[in-house]
Amino acid sequence: MEWRSIWIGSLILLLAGCTAEQRFRPENLAKSDLDFIADSQLAQIDQHLQRLMQKLYRRNPRELAKTPQATIASRTQLLFDLPPPLIFDELGGRQSIDAMLLALDPGFRGDRVFALMVGLTGMLLQAYDNKSEFFLLDRLDEQKLYNSARNIEVLAWRLRTRVDVTGAPLILTNSLDPQMPNLSFERLFGQLIALQDSIAQAVAQRNQRTINRLVHGLATSFLPI
């Protein structure tokens, strides 16, 4: 009976260590440390993306006005309540990188912020194989995760350089006005990049593989996921 007391005591300690925010669930026993890390990364990414979408709409109110009776909350809910794949008629079914390219197409007349966020969110979900939770039998691909980080860098660069016929940015982000500088968008993109790079490195170590790092000349092109 001694072994049973030890087992029960260990289980009690395990349950006691679970916080109110993350209660113990039986299915958690089928998770590795990396699975917990991936779950946590996805939760942080979701928070960052929602914050980014809301900030973009506040910075670009003309885009929100393109959808009658739309609010920042309603557009955010529309995107983040939908399970992948993220397909919307207003974008002609474009997803992931194609939706980001559409958002920065000078000829596009729709909601650029929505197209951008549909594309960025879908691209990141693809890097996680469109899964919202991970278990022992799941296998992430370090190259997809690494490529997604580089794609965020490319997107941030394009947002700074894509302009309309008047020379104005297609989508406003950072402001370098010395009287009222705003680099909050750059910080958000940096946080997303850091999350993707860290999980890519962890997955590469677990899979005992080497990430194929890109040559500098490809830094302005989106990479496949």
Q: 51: which residues sit within 8 A by CB, 6+ positions away?
A: 188
Q: Are 145 and 196 in contact (CB under 8 A)?
A: yes
Q: pLDDT tens per residue, the chain (225 residues)?
A: 443 343 334 433 333 343 344 555 655 656 888 999 999 999 999 999 999 999 999 999 999 999 999 999 999 999 999 999 999 999 999 999 999 999 999 999 999 999 999 999 999 999 999 998 999 888 999 999 999 999 999 999 999 999 999 999 999 998 766 666 678 999 999 999 999 999 999 999 999 999 998 654 556 789 999
Please, how many CA atoms are within 13 Å of residue 93, restricted to the half-sphere of its CB?
A: 0
